[in-house]
Each structure stands twice: as C-alpha cells, then as structure tokens.
Structure 1
Amino acid sequence: MKIDLKGKTALVTGSTTGIGHAIAKGLAAAGAEVTVNGRTQAKVDQAVSAIAKAVHGAKVHGVAASVSTIEGCNTLVTTLPEVDILINNAGIFEPKDFFETPDEDWSRFFETNVMSGVRLSRAYMQGMLKRNWGRIVFISSESALNIPKEMIHYGMTKAAQLAVSRGLAELTRGTAVTVNSVLPGPTMSEGVETFVKDLAKQNGQSVEQAASQFVKQFRPTSLLQRFATVEEIANMVVYVASRESSATNGAALRAEGGIIQTLA
C-alpha cells in the first residue's frame, strides 16, 4: 500500500517536536502540504526547516500560535482558513498529586488538551463536510483508559478527547469525512528522552536499562516492553489521515504496545 496525500492540506498542532513533529514529517513525506504549529516563531521556523531538509520537495509552512487559548486558535484559523487534514496533537502533561492539583491546573489542562481540538474542529470540520472529504485525528493516550493515579487531571482530558472524537464522528454519517483518535503509550519523544537520561544517571544505568526498567515498573502489562518511537506513532496517524483509511471512523485506535488488557 502506497499512501499518497498529494493535493491535500494538513495542520498538525504542537508539531515543533516529538510525536507532532514526526506526524508532520510523515504527512509531508506522503505528499501533503503541511502546516507546522507551535507557540514560538523560532521553534516553528526550526521545525519547518528540519522537515524541508528531511523530506525532498516537501511543501511545509508554519504558524506560531498557542492553541491553548481562544486567541491562539483564532490566529491559526485566520492564517489558515481551510485544511483537509486536522491533527489535534497539542497537549501537556505533568505528574501531580490529586490533592495538590488546584482548580487552575484542571482548567489549564482542559483548555490545552481538549478545547484546542474542539475549537479547531469547529472551525475546520464544516468545510470538510461541504467538500465531502476530510480527516480529523485526536492524539489521545492510553491514559484515557488507564487513568494514571499520578496525573488524574491529564487522564481526564485524554478520556474527554475520546468522547469529543466519537461525537464528531457521528456528524459525518454518509460522508467521506472521518474523525478518529489514536492512543499512544510511552513514547520516546525529546522530553521523555531527557527524563530517561536523567533517570539513568541517577541510578547508574544505561539509557536502555533505565527505559526498560521504567516500562516494567510503571507499565507492567506492556507487550512491547519498551518505549515506542515517535515514528511508530506517526505511522498510524498518517494511515488514519489517508484515503486508504476511509472505512475507519469513530474509532479509538491503540498504538500503546498492548498495555491495555481488554478485548475492545
């Protein structure tokens, strides 16, 4: 199967680093015209340059805007009025004791992880329906199903994404527009790699040993028994964004290495 997204436009929020950057690069490699998004112009420019260098002939642009705010989302939509593919990837996480998590943190996480996708889907989905083609993908997490006790507020937002995604999919009935969620598990993004390196240094281990121990201790049900790469997550997302995924709609697709021990 060869995925060809030539002629399609894509927006990936939070795509200057990590999973979002790998998704943007994957979509560009498949021929889509991609808009990279991040909070600062410097990081956006750097990410655009990196993709242009990595993917020969890539059509890639950038918009600096914080999608955690109404103003940021409005800036993004004003600059980019229409897209065929929307990847709601922007998100934050932070381990924090439930009893020490104030209202402000709950609101901040909800605005960033949930409302960013709500606002952008509201802005772009009607155009997709009128054109009778489009893809919306929410980057959720296995934490949506296995709510982590060390960051309940984060798990709540990831579960909310599944609800929004499934609800939006119901609005696509009989069209060529799809809305899905992808649920990564522990993934070796830049931030996680730094965390694992620090862990390895503290415990006198190699990075590989520290990563393996972390998965065994905190995600013992993992079948993968390692962190996924950002490219492995991006591969799933690029497929879901393609024409070839037309029969996949309203789904919560797992890319979490078999951590979740349920049949469906």
Structure 2
Amino acid sequence: MNIDLSGKTALVTASTAGIGFAIAEGLARAGARVALNGRTSSSVDDAKKRLLAQVPNADVIAIAADLADADGVAKIREVLDEIDILVNNAGIYGPQDFFETGDEIWERYFQVNVMSGVRLSRTYLPAMEARGWGRVVFISSESALNIPADMIHYGVTKTGQLSVARGLAKRMAGTGVTVNSVLPGPTLSEGLQSMLKDQAQQEGRDIESVATDFVMQNRPSSVIQRAATPEEVANMVVYVCSQQASATSGAALRVDGGVVDDIV
C-alpha cells in the first residue's frame, strides 16, 4: 500500500517526543507538510531538527503553544490558517487516588485531554468541510475502555475523547471529512522508558525485556505480551489519515496489543 499525502498539511499536537513524534515522522514520510507542536520553543525546535534528520526533505513547521487553554489554540491558528489533517495527541496522565484528586486536577485533565481537541476541531473542521476532504484523529487510550482504578480522572477524559470523536464523525457525515479515535495500549515511549530505566540498569537487562515484564504485571490480558513501539501506533494513525481509509469514520481503532478483552 502506497500512502501519499503530498499536498496535505498535518498538525500533530504534543509531537516533540513519543507517539506524537512518531506520528509526525510517519506523516512526513508519506509526503505531508507537518506542523510539530510542543509547549516550549526549545522543545519544538529540537524536534524539528530530529525530524529533518530522519526525513531530510520534509516540510516541517515548529509551533510552540500550550494547549491547556484557548490561548494555545489561538497561537497555532496564527501560524496555520487551514490544515487537512488534525491529530489530537496532546494529553497528560498520572496515577492518583480518586479521594485525593481535587477539582483542580479534574479540570486540568479535562482542559488538556478533551478541550484541546474540541477547540482545534472547532477551529479547523469548517474549512475541511468546505473543501470536501479532511482527517481528524483523537489519540485516546485503552484506558478509555479499561478505566484504571488509580487514574479514574485520566480514564474519564479518554472516554470523553471517544464521545467527541464519534459525535463529530456524525456531524461531518457525507462531507468527505472523517473523524476517528486511535487507542494505544502500553507503549515503549520515552515516558515509559524513563520510568523503567533505573530498574533495567539495576537488573542488568535491556529496557524492552523490563517493559515486557511491566506489561504482563499491569496488563496481563495483553495478547502480544509486550509493549508496542511508538512507530506501531503511528502506523495506524498514518493509515487513518490516508485516502485509503476514506470509508473509516466514527471508529475507535485499538492498537492496544489486545489488552482490551473484547471481540468488537
């Protein structure tokens, strides 16, 4: 399958590392003009250098904007008037007991994980509809279906993303614009590697094997019985953004390694 996104402009939020960077790289390799986003100028400039080292001929834009509030979306709009592909990857996570999770934490998670995608979709979807082509992808999580007992606040926001995406897919029905969600499971991104680094060094093991143990201890229902790579998640996203995926809309597509024990 040859995915060609030449002539398309893609915005990938929170794309300076991990899954977001892998998605940006995948879209760039497919020929798309890619806008990287992060909270600081230094992080996006560094990500741009790394992406150009991987894909030398890529057309890359770096936009520093914190998407925790509407001002961040306004900053992006100042640089990008219109886009063809929107990947809502911005998100925060962290374990905390329900009874110790105050309103301010719930509000922060909702603003970053849900409202950033709502605001950007509201900003860019009308022009996609007018042109008769567009792709919007929400990067949710298997935690949207398997709500973690130690991260209820996080799981709720990931479920919220599924609802927004499904509703928007219906709103865009018949326009040529698709809206989907992609649900990663345990993924060996920089965050997980950093968390497991000390253990790997202490035990004299490679990070992949330590990550495999982590998955089997915390997500024993995994079918692949290992952590996915960011590139494996990105592959699904790039496909969903392609012309070849034009009949896929309103879907919640799992790249969770089979963690969710469900046949649909």
TM-score by length of 2: 0.97
Letter in 1 for 2:219: R
**Partner Cα separation in structure 2 for residue 84 and residue 204 of structure 1:** 46
Say which SS state the counterpart of residue 182 (structure 2) adopts: strand
Residue correspondence of structure 1 range 191-202 to structure 2 within 5 A: 191-201=191-201
Q: Deviations over 1:112-133 (max 9, x none)?
A: 0000000000000000000000
Q: 1:201 to 1:96 in 2, by over 3 A?
A: farther
Residue correspondence of structure 1 range 75-90 to structure 2 within 5 A: 75-90=75-90
Say which SS state the counterpart of residue 57 (structure 1) adopts: coil
Residue correspondence of structure 1 range 175-186 to structure 2 within 5 A: 175-186=175-186
Alignment partner, residue 71 of structure 1: 71
**Partner Cα separation in structure 2 for residue 105 and residue 239 of structure 1:** 34
- Is this contact kept in 1: 2:41–2:63, CA < 8 A? yes
Residue correspondence of structure 1 range 104-183 to structure 2 within 5 A: 104-183=104-183
The answer to whether residue 27 in structure 2 is matched with residue 32 in structure 1 is no
Alignment partner, residue 235 of structure 2: 235
Letter in 2 for 1:71: D
**Partner Cα separation in structure 2 for residue 192 and residue 227 of structure 1:** 10
C-alpha displacement at 1:211, in angstroms?
A: 1.4
Say which SS state the counterpart of residue 183 (structure 1) adopts: strand
Tell me how large the CA RMSD over aligned residues is.
Answer: 1.1
Q: Deviations over 1:94-151 (max 9, x none)?
A: 0111111111110000000000000000000000000000000000000000000111
- 5+ residue gaps in structure 1? none
**Partner Cα separation in structure 1 for residue 97 and residue 11 of structure 2:** 34
**Partner Cα separation in structure 1 for residue 242 and residue 43 of structure 2:** 27
Number of residue pairs the alignment of both structures matches: 264
The answer to whether residue 98 in structure 2 is matched with residue 101 in structure 1 is no
Say which SS state the counterpart of residue 225 (structure 2) adopts: coil
Q: 1:206 to 1:34 in 2, by over 3 A?
A: closer
Alignment partner, residue 49 of structure 1: 49
Say which SS state the counterpart of residue 180 (structure 2) adopts: strand
C-alpha displacement at 1:238, in angstroms?
A: 0.3
- Is this contact kept in 1: 2:188–2:211, CA < 8 A? no
Q: Deviations over 1:149-203 (max 9, x none)?
A: 1110000000000000000000111121000000000001111101111233466
C-alpha displacement at 1:240, in angstroms?
A: 0.3
**Partner Cα separation in structure 2 for residue 72 and residue 13 of structure 1:** 11
Alignment partner, residue 187 of structure 1: 187
The answer to whether residue 19 in structure 2 is matched with residue 19 in structure 1 is yes
Q: 1:202 to 1:110 in 2, by over 3 A?
A: farther
The answer to whether residue 28 in structure 2 is matched with residue 6 in structure 1 is no
**Partner Cα separation in structure 2 for residue 204 and residue 23 of structure 1:** 31
**Partner Cα separation in structure 2 for residue 94 and residue 199 of structure 1:** 19
Letter in 1 for 2:227: F
Residue identity (%): 59
Letter in 2 for 1:175: T
C-alpha displacement at 1:58, in angstroms?
A: 0.4
Worse-matched range after superposition: 196-205 or 25-34: 196-205
**Partner Cα separation in structure 2 for residue 138 and residue 258 of structure 1:** 19
**Partner Cα separation in structure 1 for residue 116 and residue 110 of structure 2:** 9
C-alpha displacement at 1:205, in angstroms?
A: 5.1
Letter in 2 for 1:145: L
Q: Deviations over 1:63-117 (max 9, x none)?
A: 1000111111111112211100000001000011111111111000000000000
Letter in 1 for 2:108: R
Q: Deviations over 1:199-254 (max 9, x none)?
A: 33466654334212211111000001111000000000000001110000000000
Q: Which runs of 4+ in 1 moved over 6 A?
A: none
